[in-house]
Chain A
């Protein structure tokens, strides 16, 4: 499986969708990422990443309900597809394997 088509930001967004499911849409994700990382994240960037992920088949979307603060506009809710889920666990497995190979004292030196 080629995983180079999953950028770092995309990966985080994909993870956030999985974490926030079934209420994942761009505002929620952006807020969540802002909280977690402390950097400001624009909905535009998130939205674009979501679109790309959907195009790649990792996400599906449907229009959700409209709320007053949205001015009566509907939101687009995203859910992770099976393919998306597999990609996520693949990524995680790779990382775990690499983490496990790091010599413990190096880990200590970082802190």
Chain B
């Protein structure tokens, strides 16, 4: 019987409110009439038409209100004005708050910049989703699989030839020992790579000069980066100019690449055509399927089935090499290369992603601490603001409006802090870049950066402002003006929780820093087993190897060096790994252990200052048979179970050689200082020599020694610059990674502590302010200043203590995980926590006392005079 409800709803929606009554009334009355005249069905139909007839501007237009309606903008303007006034009214509060927030934001922003760089690694290539690296998967003797990133040289072309899914394939073999010269401009040690012509099609490194697809087709072509072009040719155009390599072959520059961005895993400065690798006599080419020495990358066709392709190429090497006991293959997508580069048992188990996650977490923590600070200080001021809120509420401000006001205040503060943070980041970025060895920059010119920055600030202000906003806006006006307010509504517990949280983060980071530092010192102070002072290493290049004898004689005769040896690699590099050794009474388990091979001609023990425990050093000049003699280290002796090692025979089955043990040296660190010392076999000149070690005469100044050594090397190897390394510096470099972790952890710990202390400082000042009268009365009644300080500090110190208790298990667990990665590691002892805890307490106490001592010394007359 009643008219269509939907039509009514529709009308109510569009019709102006002041007309609704009469219009609806008219409609309903007419409907009743119609039902009588025409029946209900037709009446309903007509009703709809009538409703639609009201869709005229006269009925839709709303009546202008006689009173001004506050629009959103006026309200926001008001919020901003009040916010400004509040900032200025509480200057010290604002400064503390902003300092904390901006430092926190700057820290978080720095980390985010770095994270962005890490996550964008090699994501700029056009074909990024179709590029794969070919891996080998070998099964080690202990049943574990080992993923190998290097492949054999014939694999790449065979993949391209055999499988239609492969659009392009390239091999990349890195080189760094070429002498590159243009006229008198000479450089060694530059990173380069032999690549197939398809390299520049697969990877998108933009060309500045030269046309595409012609760069590496000729055997005498070379592609260089802008940086190298500048080094070699200055401001001249590099294209079609000639570069000489090793004073032997000339190359024509066919392309100049834009400098590689910091977010790519490739580090070359020049690219050489793969064909040049086939140069006779160079020994670079190795067509064996069983020698893994080259990285292979492929570009799959779009829509290629990766799983099926993986199945197809699995037994590639087995087929081509005609053996079943060799490795299988799989392909690994580009998106995983940088962040998931660690394999365990043939499965990717992470890698850099862990660091990325940890730092993401730290960034979040730092920001959270800063925000907590903000919340804490804002709520601490709540008593001062409570009356204002009460009046506002009485005057008709709703909760939403008040929340809006506090969020605006937070946003204003965040904007100032954000601008300050940007300034800090800009100032600190160069130092930060040196610290973590990257080239981060603030991308000012990208609008997305500003968008993100704004979003970041909005997020921060919401995070920091939401708690005080909701907390303060929820005050009941009736409670605010009553005397009981202080105790009931200003509950301190959420604020206490916030302080505890803050200090927990700060203590975790601080303790972690101490543990990392201890671990580094522990490894640094480990007995190296050799003396690396005054010891340098010169890698063989050009004619050094040929003239080794003469160079050695001259250096010794001139009194520059006290001892010289030529070796397989640098001492700090470790050596080569082998599995194929056999010895009498061997246990099968032991023969599977990796043994490190090293070699020397003579005087290794003397030059490196190792300690000979039994027998003698290798000396092929005095004992011609020493080509087949070996010196073992203690671990090797233990592994092979020799009671009397001298005179024992070790067999190298793959070369069918028998080696006689002539000496035993004390264990020395080869490779990582964090790992267990591997069993080492030092042989005579069985394999090649790549470097020489020189022990300088300690009675002369190092500068003199170096200058004269350079003259001698220049005489015998004129084309190459004298390139040498100090072994102690090489060894120190092994700690770079951990040093960096330490510095960063320390930096962020300092940041966290700084922000937490700012917060504590602010909080104390408000508590002290509140307790002014109480202090006065206590002093009048005979309390000493110390009593008062103790009373005021006690609460805060309790919070820090509580934070400390929470931090212990978290730190212990996470640092335990970190230390697991090192074989040679410290245990986490209780005193580390004790130190960190005491330190935190001390810092907190000092912060708190800044305020409490001042309050305790105030003459009670002052605080009690007026009431």
Contacts and interface: CB of A to CB of B under 8 A. Distances in A.
A59 to B, nearest CB: 14
A30 B24 contact: no
A58 B58 CA distance: 18
A26 B21 contact: no
A22 B22 CA distance: 17
B29 A69 contact: yes
B54 A69 contact: no
Q: Is the interface of B mostly helix, strand, loop or mixed?
A: helix
A104 interface: no
Among B25, B52, B54, max chain A CB count under 10 A is at B25
Contacts of B21: 73-74
Contact of A47 (B23, B32, B33, B52): B23
Interface string A68-100: 011101111000000000000000000000000
Interface residues of B, number: 23
Contact of B54 (A47, A74, A75): A47
A70 to B, nearest CB: 4
Given A27-B30, A30-B30, A42 B53 contact: yes
Contacts of B56: 44, 48
Contact of B32 (A30, A48, A69, A74): A69
B22 A73 contact: yes
A31 B46 CA distance: 13
B113 interface: no
Contacts of A74: 21-22, 25
Interface string B22-38: 11111111101100000
Contacts of B22: 26, 47, 63, 73-76
B33 to A, nearest CB: 7
A43 B26 contact: yes
A110 B192 CA distance: 108
Contacts of B738: none
Contacts, number: 67
Nearest to B35: A69
Contacts of B52: 44
Interface residues of A, number: 24
B24 A71 contact: yes
B59 interface: yes
Given A43-B53, A44-B53, A51 B58 contact: yes
B25 A70 contact: yes
Contacts of A76: 22
A94 B535 CA distance: 126
B49 A70 contact: no
Contacts of A25: 26
Contacts of B26: 25-27, 43, 47, 70, 75
B28 A71 contact: yes
A19 interface: no
B29 A27 contact: yes
B769 interface: no
Contacts of A70: 24-26, 28-29
A24 B451 CA distance: 62
Contacts of A31: 30, 33
A44 B59 CA distance: 9
Contact of B25 (A40, A44, A52, A71): A71
A74 to B, nearest CB: 6
A44 B7 CA distance: 14
B723 interface: no
Interface in B580-630: none
Contacts of B29: 27, 67, 69-70, 75
Contacts of B59: 44, 47-48
B24 A45 contact: no
Interface in A47-61: 47-48, 51-52
Given A45-B53, A47-B54, A66 B25 contact: yes
Contacts of B49: 42
Contacts of B55: 44
Contact of B24 (A42, A52, A67, A73): A73
B135 to A, nearest CB: 78
Contacts of A66: 25
B344 interface: no
B50 interface: yes
Interface in A1-48: 25-27, 30-31, 40, 42-45, 47-48
B821 to A, nearest CB: 79
Given A44-B56, A48-B59, A74-B22, A69 B50 contact: no
B385 to A, nearest CB: 48
Nearest to A71: B28
B25 A73 contact: yes
Given A27-B33, A70-B28, 12 more contacts: A25-B26, A26-B26, A30-B30, A31-B30, A44-B54, A44-B55, A67-B29, A71-B28, A73-B25, A74-B21, A74-B25, A75-B25
27 contacts: A26-B22, A27-B29, A27-B30, A42-B53, A43-B30, A43-B50, A43-B53, A44-B23, A44-B50, A44-B51, A44-B53, A44-B54, A44-B56, A45-B53, A47-B22, A48-B56, A48-B59, A63-B22, A66-B25, A69-B29, A70-B26, A71-B24, A71-B28, A73-B28, A74-B25, A75-B22, A75-B29
Interface of B: 21-30, 32-33, 46, 49-56, 58-59
List the 10 closest pairs (A to B, CB-CB), nearest first: A73-B25, A44-B53, A42-B53, A70-B25, A69-B32, A44-B54, A76-B22, A43-B26, A70-B29, A27-B29
